[in-house]
Amino acid sequence: MNTLITALENESRLYGELLALLAQKRDALVSLKTADVDRIVAQEEAMLSRLGEADAMRRRAAAEAGRVTGLAPGATLRQIADRDPRFMPLRDRLQKLIVDVARANDLNRALAEQSLAHVRETLLVLTGVEIDAAAYTRRGAEAPPPSSSRVNIVDSVA
C-alpha cells in the first residue's frame, strides 16, 4: 500500500512540474521567444517520458493494492480509496493536476495556432502569395502559385 502512496505522490509531483513548464511555455509563446519555446518543448518531452514511467509504476502499484484489498483485477483508484481512505486525497490531487495540465495544454495550443495564423497573414501581406498555395502539374513539376487578389507589399514598395 505504501508503494501506491509513493507512486501517487511521485506522479502528482511530476504533473506539478509539467504544469509549471506549461506556464513557462505560455509566457514564451505570448512574448514570442522562440528559443525559450524550443528549450521548454525539449524539457516537456523529457517530462512526458518520466510521466509515462510514473504512470506505469502507479498502475502496477494500484494493481497490487487492489489485490491486497480484495478487489477484482483492474480496480480503479476510487475503488481502492473506498477501501483505504488514505488514497482519496492523493487521487483527488492527481485528478485535479491532470485537468489543470489539460487546460494549460489547450491554452498553449490555441496560442501557438494564433501565432501561426498571424505569421501566415503577415507573409500573405508581404508577398501576396498564400503559404500553402504552391501547386504541382500532373508530372510533379511545381507550377507557380495562383496570384492573390491582394497587393504584394514588397513589390509595391520596390
> For residue 74, what is the enclosing H or E element?
none
By C-alpha distance, which of 36, 39, 32, 38 is closest to 119? 32
pLDDT in tens, 21-68: 999 999 999 888 989 999 999 999 999 999 999 999 999 999 999 998
- Residue identified by cell 497490487 is 64
Q: What's the pLDDT score for residue 37?
A: 92
Cα–Cα distance for residue pair 111/107, rounded to 1 Å: 6
- Name the band, by pLDDT with cuts 50, 70 and 90, for residue 127: confident
pLDDT in tens, 6-25: 999 999 999 999 999 999 99
String of DSSP letters for 6-33? HHHHHHHHHHHHHHHHHHHHHHHHHTT-
pTM of the complete model beyond 0.85:
no
